[in-house]
Amino acid sequence: MATNINAEQLLKAKSGKGFIAALDQSGGSTPKALKLYGVEETEYKNDAEMFDLIHAMRSRIISSPVFTSERILGAILFEMTM
């Protein structure tokens, strides 16, 4: 299978400054991620509330004025997480 690679994106990935923002989060690791940010499991009642909290966190991150291509090379998100 042939793959078309965008030369500009490849160059940026190889030599650009910044990092990959891994904002993907599965249900299994979400409670631990929230706890690392000070959100205890007692602060949400179910998975829906837990995912609402992680969604709010992602939204704050990506809407930050410093979340730009000057610092971010790319972002990883699961489908349907934003």
* Interval 1-13: pLDDT, tens: 567 888 988 898 8
Per residue in 40-68, pLDDT tens? Answer: 999 999 999 998 998 898 899 999 999 99
Rg (CA), the chain: 16
Q: How high is the pLDDT of residue 81?
A: 59
What residue segments make up the domains of the chain, in order of their start? Answer: 13-76
**Mean predicted confidence (pLDDT) in 11-19:** 90
The pLDDT of residue 72: 92
**pTM (whole model) above 0.75:** no
3-state helix/strand/coil string of the chain: CCCCCCHHHHHHHHHCCCEEEECCCCCCCHHHHHHHCCCCHHHCCCHHHHHHHHHHHHHHHHCCCCCCCCCEEEEECCCCCC
